[in-house]
Amino acid sequence: MADIVSPEKRSEMMRGIRSKDTKPEKTVRSWLHRKGYRFRINRKDLPGTPDIVLPKYNLAIFVHGCYWHRHENCRLASVPKSNTGFWENKFEKNRERDRRKLGECRKAGWQTHVIWECEIRKDGYGDRLGEMIKNE
């Protein structure tokens, strides 16, 4: 199936996809800040450049978009109808990189936690996040 937009338009659309400071990340950071947690963002000295790092708790948090990181059984993790081979390969490489970087972070002595985009939308999310931090 051919793409329904021109290559130039598709390129413009893809350029608009952010890799940091996404809405889900900002939501988590806002909640953490309101609750008095102190954190750093996008620490490049840690494997995978975690989105949020709470040094006091030795915790690295990765906020993953369900589409790009392939959240299992999530309605937001659809596969495009065109060029499916390319996309499936790309998504698998993303998942492999995620597994590798989480492992490297743990090996470096950090606790890790992945927060999915769809989880943030659910009621009571902040309470679950707070419990997770206390248990780390």
Residue 22 makes CB contacts below 8 A (sequence gap 6+) with: 63, 65
The pLDDT value given to residue 30:
92
The pLDDT value given to residue 2:
64
Q: How far is CA 131 from the centre of its chain?
A: 20
Structural contact between residues 92 and 100, judged by C-beta atoms closer than 8 angstroms: no
Cα–Cα distance between 75 and 60 in angstroms, integer?
26
Query: Structure pTM?
Result: 0.81
Which single residue is written with the structure tokens 């989480």?
Answer: 102
What is the per-residue pLDDT across 11-38, written as a single tens digit (0 to 9) for each? 787 676 766 788 889 999 999 999 999 9
The pLDDT value given to residue 18:
66
Q: pLDDT band for position 114 (50/70/90)? A: very high
